[in-house]
Structure formats: C-alpha cells, structure tokens
Amino acid sequence: MAQEIIRTEYSEIMQKSFIDYSMSVILARAVPDVRDGLKPVQRRTLYDMYELKVDYNKPYKKSARIVGDTMGKYHPHGDSSIYEALVVMSQDFKKSLPLVDGHGNFGSIEGDGAAAMRYTEARLAKVTQEVYLGDLDKNVVDFVPNYDETEKEPEVLPVRVPNLLINGSDGIAVGMVTSIPQHNLGEVIDGVIAYMKNPDINTAQMLEIIQGPDFPTGGIVTNKDDLLEIYSTGVGKIKIRGKAEIEKIKGGKEQIVISEIPYPMIGANIGKFLNDIYQLVESKKTNDITDISNQSSKDGMRIIVELRKGADAQNVLNLLYKKTRLEDTFGVNMLAVADGKPETLGIVPIIRHHVNFQYEISTRKYTHLLGKEQDKKEIQEGLIKACDVIDLIIEILRGSKDVKQAKACLVDGVTAGIKFKSNASKVAAEQLRFTDRQAQAILDMRLHRLIGLEIEALKAEYDDTLAKIAKYTKILGSKAEMAKVIIKDLQSIKKEYARERRTVIDNVEEAVVEEKPIEVIDVAVLIDRFAYARVIDMPTFERNKEAAETESKKIVFCKNIDKICLFTNNGDMHTIKVLSLPFGKFRDKGQPIDTAEKGSKIDLTKENLLLADSMANIITKKLIFGTKQAMIKVVDGSEFDVSRKLIAATKVNDGDEVICVKVLGENDTVVMRSAKDMFLRIDGASIPEKKKTAVGVRGMKLANGDEITDIYVLNEGDNVEVKVKDKTVALNRLHVGSRDTKGVKK
C-alpha cells in the first residue's frame, strides 16, 4: 500500500496537539461542571455507587470494590485518583456537605492519610442518594457512552442544589486553576429561591443572603468589604483567621486556646503552624510562650499555647496572627465548565446556570412522570371498562382457542373461531374496541380484581391518576408553577439538611504587634571549626575565655543588636543579625551559621571564612584584600554598610582566590609570602584604595608557577616570626620594599 507523506508546519501540529490535550484535562479531569459542581471522577464514583446499590440504609461495601468497578467501567485513569476522590467526599473537615459515608480510617484534619482501600468501606450519604441521584431513573439527564462504549454514564448528575457553591472545588488544569470556597447549604438555597423570584438580583443583594464562605473548619473571614468584588468577578483573596480565646489558668497565668483554624491550615500545615510557634520562641521573637500542646480530638480542635506569668496575651495572639498561619489567605478563582467551556463566574451567574439546569431537569422529570401516568390511565380505563362487561370477557376467554385469538377479539372485535353461548354475546363481542395495552392488561388480570372492594380501589387509583395528570400538565404548562415546585423542593431539602453557619464574616483590623524594646548588651559571637555559631554575654565569655579562644575559629565582640560580616575566599560578604543566632550558655551547641537566617546563602562547607567582624566595626575601618595571584587593594569599610544578606566584597579574576581579608591600620606594614618562600614587605600606605567592585593592583611579582600563600598585617611594635624550613624569619625585621617587586628569598 502506497504511503503518503504530509508536509506541514511542526509548530502547527504542536499547537493543535497541546490545545487538544489542554481541553481534555480541563473538561475531563480537573475542572467541575457548573451544573452539578462535580469533577468527572467524583461524578463517576457516585454513579457507580448508585449502580452498585450501596445505599445509605444498606451495609457498607469495600472501597476497593467501588474503586475497581469505577475504574473498569467509567474512569480508566488509575485507582489512586478515584480513591482520593472517594476519601475527600467523605471528609467532613474538607467538605461542607460530605457525599460519601465512610467507615474506617478515612484520614484526619491533621493530615493523616486514609487507610488503604482494602481496609475501608463506604456507602452513599443520605443527602447524596436523595438530592444528587434521586431522579436519575426519570430520564432527566442524557447518558453518554463510556470510554470503550460498553456502558452508559450520565453526562451530569441531576443535583437539586448548587453543589459548586456548597462544597466548593479545587483543581489544577493546563494553564488554569479553580479554587472555589464552600458555602452554607441553607444560605445557598435561600439565594437560589431569591434569584428565582427576582432574576435581576445583583451581587450586593445576593451577599445579603449568602453572607460569604462557610468553611467546615469555621474561622473568621476578616475582609468582609472585599467580598463584593470577589463574588462579582469570581477572583480575589479571602483572609481567614483561626478562632482563639484567652483563658486564665492557675498561678495567675494565661493561655491561648485555638478552637478553630483557617481552612488552608488543614493537613500538614497544622504541624507547620506548631513548628512556626516553636521557631518564634527559638529566634527570640517572643519570650512569653512557655509551652505548646495539641489537644485536638474527635470532639474538635484544641491547640493550647501557654504563656509565662505577666505576659501580654493579646500581643502574643497578634504575633501568631502576624507570623504564623493562624491568619491565612484563601485564593478564590471560581472557574467551572459552563456550556461546554471553562469560564470564571461570579456568584450570581453560578446560581443562574444552576436554576436553568433545574428548569431543564424538572421539565424532563415531569414530562417523564406525565407519560407514565398517561400510560397508567389508559390501562386503568381499560380495566374499569372490562369490569362492566366481565361476563362477556370470561365467555370470550373460555371460547377462544389461544391468547392470540382472545386478544384479537378484545382489540378489533374479531369473533371468528370463538364459541359463544348466544348470538347476543357474539354481537356484543364484535363491538369491543380495547387498545392493545388494555387488552394485555385484561389478559394479565387476576380474578381477585373482580371483588367489589378491588373494583372500588381501581376507580380510586384512576381518580388519583387523573389528578396527577392534571398536576403535571399544569406544572409543564407554566414556568411559574414549575418554579413553585422547585422552591418547595428546595425548602424541604433545607429543612432536613441545613446547619448553622460555622465561619464568621466580619471586618477585622490587621493584627498589630507591639515590639518590646530589646535590652542592648555586649556579647561575644563564637564560631567553631564546624561553622556552628552561638552568642554569649561578656561576663560568661570572661569566665570561659581560655576555652572560648581555644575552641573557636572566630570570635566577634559586638552588641546584641549588631550584624556580623563574614568575608569568604570567593570574594563574598555575608551579613547575619546577631539576634538570629541562639543566645545562651557557654556549653550550648549553637546553630549552623548557614541556617541562622531565612534566605541566607552562606555555606562554610564550601567557602573558607577569612574574616568575621561586626558591621559597626567594619564600616569605621579600612580593609585589605589579597589573592593568590598577588592582587591587592584597600577598601574603605563604609562600602560594606549594606542591608543585603549577600554582596560581592571584591572582584576576583578567573582562577584566582581571595586568601586575605584583614583590617589595615594607618601605619601598618604588609608582608606577602609565596609558595616558593619569597617574602616582600611593603608599606600599607603604598597599597591604593579601590572600590569593592575593583580587582586591585599587583602587590608582588611572582615567578612562573608561584603563588601567594600568606599575607600578614604588622602593627607598629609587632614581633611576628614564621618558620621557613628549618629556620625562623622575623617579619618585622624584613626590609620595607616597593610594591610590585620580587621580594627576597628566605
């Protein structure tokens, strides 16, 4: 068979393929439908449970059976996504209205995962069965083929409440994200009723009914005034605080009791919140917290923060709001699939789509019910008519050879071949004109239906059928009548399933933390050879001076409110606040200096620390920089008065390395020593002052293969001796030469 090569632009194929993939993810995986508020995996799982008849009043069924059946029939995307959807739909701390009744370990609010699906069981919640799936047998929604066209699945579930608002949704698609908060069932139903009575209702009027989000974890929404903009556009940020109270305990102390948390905190973020409080204590942001304990149980959330006697409890609480996730933000992006395409919707458009959907499914429901009642009416009329001529019908049945002959007589009056007792009976039989369905019902009728009371019951059923036909016809003939039925249905759902609002909606001022003045003291910063740093006060240092000098690689004397500057061999300067380092006893372990401050990029396992000093001292001095390739310069310390945590302290040529950063005094001399034991002593004043961005000048001429190994700064009167092979060289006795000369061999 001949093959044809189609030449096309590669970018066009990529663009089309990517768009197709994106829409598939959006419509078939990540974004909910505005009509039922469900993602495909949720819809398919609930429908499969409906098919399996895992009803709320029947025994639980293994989750593995539900997941396997769903995956095999409707959702061939792996069992983990199906089980995760099943678990989330059962968690009352994630969903305002749980749709699945789980039995077993279905996880916890603190982030514990659910047990494996083979250990847990589930069934439909009552509300799901009655409100979400109740009308599926009434032809109210279209059914579409499943992935391999061996089964049929509903395109959408006939949900009678706006599930998109009640249970919210979150999901990440390609290039877009949906994040919809939960709302109170009773308020949302009232909002739907208000819209049905006044389709011109605006967002401000709707927010008088639906106050705002109602998270299952409670909490306090603090930016009420922003909600109008958020619910008009469908996009914005909702600020949420946990609910906390200050309680007095014995000993004149107080404690903060957190009973509700912001919704974004659920899961692993509770543990992070506790760790953040611990870090506040460790970093000396507060000294008022003495203990933290999580006493939460199945009865509710209870986190205790104990305070020292005399602490300002309100100030500590404000600090928790400011520095931890006790106050958090919920990003709103109300994206849903509407009319087959993704769209960001405000609250009124969401309700409009829902109401239109309710009119559609109600029209189909009552059309279906009307058809059934009309079929029933036809049969009932036939049976009542048959009761009036029952003797003739019995005579026809007894005289017929088979059912086919008897049915032909009942429908068309065909009497040929039937034996009658009299000619009059034959003539009467020829007048019969039952419909085909009436005739079949007569043939199927049992003799006990001929009892007088049964006949009366049949006539009562017929009257009831006529009443229903009139009722359904009236509903289908008037939108106003249909609206009354929908509203009545919503009110009954609200009466049975609504609950009190959990989340408080208010305008709350931003938490203000009163910073207590720090007592300024003289301290010593000790940095050991493992790059662990700690801070001790001067009396402690004086008592342990000898041990401190022996064990420490660098010691910096400064104030506790100072910064220390760390110069390394790659030409960088790192700054760290002394307050970020642990303050304590001499024998405390300390903290790795690279983890002292968030965002610090120092790594003393890869960089060699050349100078550590306080910024207060550095900026008043002049520093000399020297490299292996004999490049030297002097930099005024004021250039290092910066707020950034990392700057380039000097420029370094490729292949070169800084080996010296030292303070240079006014009358100091500088001695350079090379690997080949060449020494050059020069006057410090002969070294030019440069900017920190400069490379510097050559300090000493080096022979091929030689490099600078040490640079010494000598003060007046210093007597410094160094070993050169088997002899000692007194550096202060070296002749003071000129910069950029070879020096002398020793």
Please tell me the number of Cα atoms within 13 Å of 84 on its side-chain side: 7
Note the pLDDT tens digit of each residue in 2-55.
677 767 676 666 666 655 555 555 555 678 999 999 999 999 999 999 999 999
* Per-domain boundaries in the chain: 38-158, 243-325, 353-496, 522-745
pLDDT higher than threshold 90 for residue 414: no
Which homologous superfamily is 353-496 in? Topoisomerase, domain 3 (1.10.268.10)
Q: What is the 8-class DSSP label of residue 129?
A: I
Tokens 């923060």 belong to 305
Which residues sit opposite 169 in a β-bridge? 180
Q: Say how far apart CA 303 and CA 296 lie, in whole Å.
A: 7
Beta strands in 200-326 (DSSP E): 220-221, 235-241, 243-248, 254-260, 289-294, 303-307
pLDDT higher than threshold 90 for residue 396: no
So what's the architecture of 38-158 in CATH? Alpha-Beta Complex (3.90)
- For residue 117, what are the contacts with CB-CB under 8 A and spacing of at least 6? 62, 63, 64, 67, 79, 83
Note the pLDDT tens digit of each residue in 257-316.
999 999 999 988 888 898 888 888 876 778 888 899 998 887 888 999 999 888 889 999
- Bridge pairing between strands 744-745 and 736-737: unpaired
Beta strands in 540-663 (DSSP E): 552-559, 563-568, 572-577, 591-592, 609-614, 622-627, 631-636, 646-648, 658-663
Q: How many CB atoms lie within 10 A of CB 429?
A: 21
Q: Which of 21, 60, 83, 119 is catalytic?
A: 119
CA angle (317 as vertex; 316, 322 as ends), nearest 5:
95
Q: Say how far apart CA 733 and CA 209 lie, in whole Å.
A: 92
Q: Say how far apart CA 215 and CA 235 lie, in whole Å.
A: 18
pLDDT higher than threshold 80 for residue 544: yes
Note the pLDDT tens digit of each residue in 490-528.
999 999 999 999 999 999 888 777 766 778 899 999 999
User: Left, alpha or beta for 504 (phi > 0: left; psi -120 to 50: alpha)?
Assistant: beta
Q: Say how far apart CA 139 and CA 667 lie, in whole Å.
A: 100
297-306, 378-387, 531-540, 668-677: least confident range: 378-387
DSSP 153-171: EESS---SS-HHHHT-EEE
**H or E segment at 678?**
strand 678-683
The verdict on whether 231 is a catalytic residue reads no
Q: Kindly report the length of the chain.
A: 746
Cα separations (Å) of 621 from 445, 617, 687? 114, 7, 15
Both tokens assigned to 81: 């996504």
Q: Is domain 522-745 annotated with CATH 2.120.10.90?
A: yes
Mean pLDDT of the chain: 89
Q: What is the 8-class DSSP label of residue 132?
A: I
Are the beta carbons of 415 and 409 closer than 8 angstroms?
A: yes
Q: How many CB atoms lie within 10 A of CB 207?
A: 20
Note the pLDDT tens digit of each residue in 135-159.
999 999 999 999 888 999 999 999 9
- Bridge pairing between strands 220-221 and 504-505: parallel
What is the tally of helices (H) and strands (E) in the chain? 21, 36
- For residue 77, what are the contacts with CB-CB under 8 A and spacing of at least 6? 29, 41, 71
Backbone φ and ψ for 34, nearest 5 degrees, come out as: -65, -25
Task: Of 688, 691, 714, give the one whose Cα is nearest residue 699.
Answer: 688
Q: Say how far apart CA 493 and CA 635 lie, in whole Å.
A: 78
Q: What is the 8-class DSSP label of residue 568?
A: E
Q: Say how far apart CA 406 and CA 450 lie, in whole Å.
A: 19
- For residue 417, what are the contacts with CB-CB under 8 A and spacing of at least 6? 400, 401, 405
Which pLDDT value is given to residue 490? 96
pLDDT higher than threshold 70 for residue 199: yes
pLDDT higher than threshold 90 for residue 529: no
Note the pLDDT tens digit of each residue in 555-568.
999 999 999 999 99
Q: Say how far apart CA 677 and CA 696 lie, in whole Å.
A: 23
Percent residues over pLDDT 70 in the chain = 95
pLDDT higher than threshold 90 for residue 449: no
Which pLDDT value is given to residue 510? 80
Both tokens assigned to 6: 């189609």
DSSP 457-520: HHHHHHHHHHHHHHHHHHHHH-HHHHHHHHHHHHHHHHHHH-----SEE-B-PPP---PPPPPP
Q: How many CB atoms lie within 10 A of CB 474?
A: 13
Output the pTM of the full model: 0.73
Percent residues over pLDDT 90 in the chain = 62
The class level of CATH for 243-325 reads alpha beta
Cα dihedral 298→301→307→311 (10° resolution): -150
Q: Say how far apart CA 339 and CA 236 lie, in whole Å.
A: 24
Which pLDDT value is given to residue 712? 95
Are the beta carbons of 67 and 118 closer than 8 angstroms?
A: no
For residue 370, what pLDDT band results from cuts at 50, 70 and 90? very high
Task: Of 508, 206, 230, 240, give the one whose Cα is nearest residue 351.
Answer: 206
Are the beta carbons of 346 and 234 closer than 8 angstroms?
A: yes
Note the pLDDT tens digit of each residue in 56-114.
999 999 999 999 999 999 998 889 999 999 999 999 999 999 999 999 999 999 888 89
CA angle (395 as vertex; 391, 397 as ends), nearest 5:
115
Higher pLDDT: 411 or 203? It is 203
Tokens 């792996």 belong to 78
Q: What is the 8-class DSSP label of residue 38?
A: -
Which pLDDT value is given to residue 606? 84
The sign of the torsion formed by the CA atoms of 359, 360, 362, 366 equals positive
Which pLDDT value is given to residue 280? 84
Both tokens assigned to 322: 């400011």
